[in-house]
Amino acid sequence: MTELLSNFLAGRWQNGSGAGTELIDPVLGTPLVRVDAGGLDLAEAFAFARQEGGSALRKLSYRQRGALLAEVGKVLQAGRDAYYEIATANSGTVKNDTAVDIDGAFFTLGSYAKMGESLGDRHHLPDGDSARLGKDPLFQSQHMLTPTRGVALFINAFNFPAWGLWEKAAPALLSGVPVIIKPATATAWLTQRMVQDVVNAGVLPAGALSVICGSSTGLLDQLQPFDVVSFTGSAETAGVIRSHPAVTQRSVRVNIEADSLNSALLLPDASTEALELLAKEVAREMTVKSGQKCTAIRRVLVPQALYAQAAEAISARLAKTTVGNPRNEAVRMGALINRAQLNTVLEGLAQLKTEAEVLHDGAAHALVDADPALACCLGPTLLGLRTAEASDASRHVHDTEVFGPVATLLPYRDIEHALALVRRGQGSLVTSLYGSDPAALARVALELADSHGRVHIISPDVAALHTGHGNVMPQSLHGGPGRAGGGEELGGLRALNFYHRRSALQASTAVLAQLFPVSA
């Protein structure tokens, strides 16, 4: 029988009481490890994190907590090779895709460690300037941010078991808030191993970091008014979280990242170079992590006159993608996470095909070093709608997110038509713009900013510099309005707002000077 991974909570390692759920290699079909959270004392776990972890973290300054993040980063760097092996086996990702997750986590941790240093020895933060409350400037109001005296519960998706943990945990721990992470069951192994290594190294105070692998049953019931919960996953599960009494009655703060039909838009006056940049980025976003990214491009909008040219350029790049066993150096795209996910993608693809035609067929890709009967692999598939009228008439293309290597090419009449089509996504994490005219790019970016968490603008002058449509950088906001969940993560120091409470202090300037000395 495979190893049963332990949970770490209330300051000790604990096994669940059940047989556990077995995690399977999505390429070879072999069992890996088991996870289970049955019978755990969740009330004890949450109380321990609040009382022990929270108290210890709040005694430290931002600078000291930043130093802890730096030490966590060193511990994780030492385990990098082992993490890559786990990701290959459990997630079925090629090395470059694994780097997006694991090395992306390291980079995010390092970024927030440096931010902690920049905040200095404070234990709370000023929020804006003070304002006088009357004619005499002696009595003023000063807003401030103090760490919430609760726990941060993270319920994460399967696609980023490393980055998904640390992009949330880094700002939470820097804020002085203890973390309980519930990774997606399908890829919990990597998250659990990272937590295990950090715990064994003794870097963080007791109760600062906990991990629960397996069912999420009962977790939300433990939340109290000053706790926060951050969720990444489906809109359906997000609705369950938002309707829970902890949120509706106890006002637990919630951050949601849900479905997102991200778009890429080629402007009408785009040059040939801009079109090539679009084709390159679309192909990359379709194939990185087999399209299993919340930021991946799902809809590609081009002028009607350039439809055929764009279809050919994107398809030519996709045709070069080798699909199969990530252990083979010739393979450039690995597997979907499991058989259930493969079936879900195939069902969504079939739905899109009722409206769109196949421009590049992923089924035509022969698998490299993998058995089609076992491997959860699917080649990249580009669909298309040939006319602008079809773009208007389509429903599924604008409503259905196929979470895999699938995208749809849509032609538009003019820029106003293009903007209307983009907005049919009802709010997205990111859109990317491709063009050569800075003024036109700026105008369109402002038009779409209200419905997107991030607008990624690619022109020929930044062809070799831009960070990528789907890459989430810690300096920039991650989240989006509407169907994308309405949440916000990262964005530099903005991420700390979620883990702090804002208050207005009304006092004499002498009192305020004690709280916020100039030298702080």
CB–CB of 263/422 below 8 Å?
Answer: yes
What is the Cα–Cα distance from 358 to 215, expressed in whole angstroms? Answer: 38
Which strands form 228-232's sheet, in the order they lie side by side? 12-14, 7-9, 209-211, 179-182, 152-155, 228-232, 253-257
The sign one gets for the Cα dihedral 352, 354, 355, 358 is positive
Alpha carbon distances (Å) from 212 to 24, 102, 201, 341, 384 = 19, 20, 19, 22, 42
Helix pair angle (80-91, 188-201), 10° resolution: 160
DSSP 8-state class, residue 333: B
3-class DSSP state of 469 = coil
What is the Cα–Cα distance from 361 to 353, expressed in whole angstroms? Answer: 11
What is the Cα–Cα distance from 343 to 366, expressed in whole angstroms? Answer: 18
The residues that are catalytic are 257, 294
3-class DSSP state of 26 = coil
The sign one gets for the Cα dihedral 392, 393, 395, 401 is negative
| CB neighbourhood size of 514 (10 A) | 9
C-alpha of 326 from chain center = 23
What is the Cα–Cα distance from 350 to 357, expressed in whole angstroms? Answer: 11
Closest CA to 342 of 319, 367, 320, 359: 367
